[in-house]
Structure 1
């Protein structure tokens, strides 16, 4: 199996990608919210059914449609997360959005990072530092 090199981004390249990534993140956040609501709906329906009447073995699964919708939504979420990976960026958190861009600074591998709410990318941290180790990027 051939190993694919991970792309490295400059601060300008990362900022140029940001509007598209923000749009994709927003769609993913909406889908995740809908998934959570649908999951809660399923749990309530199951709880209500348990209290209303004992389960009869002869009837069809009353939750099949909701469970199928959830499974489809989960696949859509996985696909959305994969879209970030295919672009070479790392989606660290869906809500609030947290995205890292592999980069180099003075020959050292770093992660340029963006947190939802920031208007542009201006910070970085080491691979092992995490978000808490953020520092202003010297290229900004």
Structure 2
């Protein structure tokens, strides 16, 4: 369980890794698009680079999981941090593009139930 302050601190601490994940994801998407045609080439590399990007992405996702962060979306990146608000279980939400955690939702309401902190 995270307090809002703990979740915010962890997002700030992990921000370089989150930014790295976003870049890796974009590189992988571009590389796959470039290589979609037989015999196509990409300035980003080939199959070995695809596998390398996938491994690096998996490593960052494992790191997030190791902090008990729930990855709810990959594109855009959506992270939930289990917590409590007014005696109810909630998830503090960080969505790619947010500077900070500014949203939460009850566990039983999902993303559609998001409210401002």
Q: Scaled by the length of structure 2, what TM-score is found?
A: 0.82
Counterparts of 2:68 and 2:18 in 1: how far apart (Å)? 15
Q: Per-residue displacement from partner, 1:61-82 (whole Å, max 9, x unpaired)?
A: xxxx822221221111111111
Aligned residues: 113
Corresponding residue of 2:8: 15
Partner of 1:95: 75
What corresponds to 2:19 in structure 1? 26
1:124 aligns to 2:104 (yes or no)? yes
Q: CA RMSD in A?
A: 2.0
Which of structure 1's runs of 4+ aligned residues deviate more than 6 A?
none
State how 1:109-120 maps to structure 2 within 5 Å.
109-120=89-100
Partner of 2:28: 35
More strand by share: 2
Structure 1 length normalisation: TM-score? Answer: 0.70
Aligned partners of 1:25 and 1:94 also within 8 Å: no
Larger-Rg structure: 1
* TM-aligned CA deviation for residue 102 of structure 1: 0.5
Paired residue secondary structure (2:35): helix
> Does the 8 Å contact 1:125/1:133 carry over to 2?
yes
Q: Distance in 1 between matches of 2:46 and 2:90?
A: 43
Q: Which residue among 36, 42, 51 is the counterpart of 1:71? A: 51
Gaps of 5+ in 1: 1-7, 49-64
Deviation at 1:47, TM superposition (A): 5.8
